[in-house]
Structure 1
């Protein structure tokens, strides 16, 4: 692991500690360009970690501190996600598959982070999960099931009840209270990539299955 300190951080507020890991993509031309931006005081953004496409891991902010990666949003009805989370940026353009070396480094990092902070697999979320309509990362190409098979995230292996009310399932999973179409889009981005159109029975069935894991 390499260290690349960013000045963009502060103390976690109100005695909060990490209970979430928020996964992002950089959507920049290179990891080095992302490092420059995440350590630029004028940009006022940062993350705890950045993983390059070749698997290189950089730490920019100490885990005990509050990095500025999440922005506005909420999860499980709680705001100030920056104070409640560890942010991981992945070197990806938002369109391409995530590189195998990057994924291996991410898995190794999460395997240490989760027990160290007693974060459950349910606490590993997408930036788009906590900020529906505002963010789309890490996007539809990210392999959540791969993480779930190692106990590093959640993924439903079979659909649940197609008659379960979607809103109640999304509440239980943790999605914030925003417009229904934004919540549905964020849920699909994570658990039903490629799905379009009005709410469907499969949306309800998959959401019910995820809610049962939450």
Structure 2
């Protein structure tokens, strides 16, 4: 017995008991992308449907492109944990969670197969259209939980998603030598960096001091938008890429 009809026509259904009602909204306005970080897709699927795990996601995308839905989009899956974006701290209530099968950083992080990414693009595109989700709210788990989570990681092909009409993307600025902002720095330039990160959506306090929290958020930003070098140091490439993203938002068609 399937339990419900899938929201995405191409999905199989395997019901997870790990869900509640959404709080404060009846529909999502974000999509959060994860990797499973487990040895196999079968183990991940079983874990997401195990009451003892107390975790779930709306969808799981296997390496061969097969999509499994475990929680209805109208319900609140338990995928984001402690997280925030643009002041929203109950990200689970405002998002659709998609787990993408990949062993992750601790188990031999691998490239994502082309057929898997094509399935992710099709799934996200369908969700975006049905819920009217804007590109800049297609996010990584690491964006909403910097430091605590690093998935789907620097190997995830955000450029390919953007070419498929999914997500907010600008070409990263080239890495080159120049002045940097790093832990221990203080002043107006640090405050400006923190303000830009906060304006984009990251949960960073604007203090003018490049503290550990700022370093973690910079690394999360790099992992998504400038993955060539993820070190938590705000070099010219990182800052310029962030400026390009904010400029693209301001010039977005109505």
TM-score, normalised with respect to structure 2: 0.80
| Max Rg structure | 2
Distance (Å, rounded) in 1 between the aligned partners of 2:232 and 2:23: 40
- The answer to whether the 8 A contact 1:145-1:154 is kept is no
Match of 1:168 in 2: 195
User: For the residues of structure 2 that align with 1:197 and 1:130, how far apart are their CA atoms?
Assistant: 16
Given that residues 121 and 153 in structure 1 are in contact (C-alpha distance below 8 angstroms), is that contact kept between their aligned partners in structure 2? Answer: yes
CA RMSD of aligned residues (A): 1.8
CA contact (8 A) 1:55 1:103 kept: yes
Q: CA deviation at 1:14?
A: 2.1
- Relative to structure 1, the CA distance from residue 57 to residue 182 in structure 2 (aligned partners, 3 Å threshold; closer, same or farther) is same
1:29-68 paired onto structure 2 within 5 Å = 29-68=39-78
Equivalenced residues, count: 213
Matches within 5 A, 1:127-142: 127-142=141-156
| Deviation (angstroms), 1:158 | 5.8
Equivalent-residue separation in structure 1 for 2:71 and 2:126 (angstroms)? 16
Query: 2:68, 2:243 → 1: CA distance?
Result: 37
Match of 2:227 among 186, 193, 199: 193
> Taking structure 1 as the reference length, what is the TM-score of the superposition?
0.94
Distance 1:210 1:68 in 2: 29
1:213 is displaced (CA, Å) by 2.9
| Higher RCO (C-alpha 8 Å, min separation 6) | 1
CA contact (8 A) 2:141 2:151 kept: yes
Decide whether the 8 Å contact of 1:159 with 1:208 is kept in 2.
Answer: no
| Distance apart, 1:93 and its partner CA | 1.3
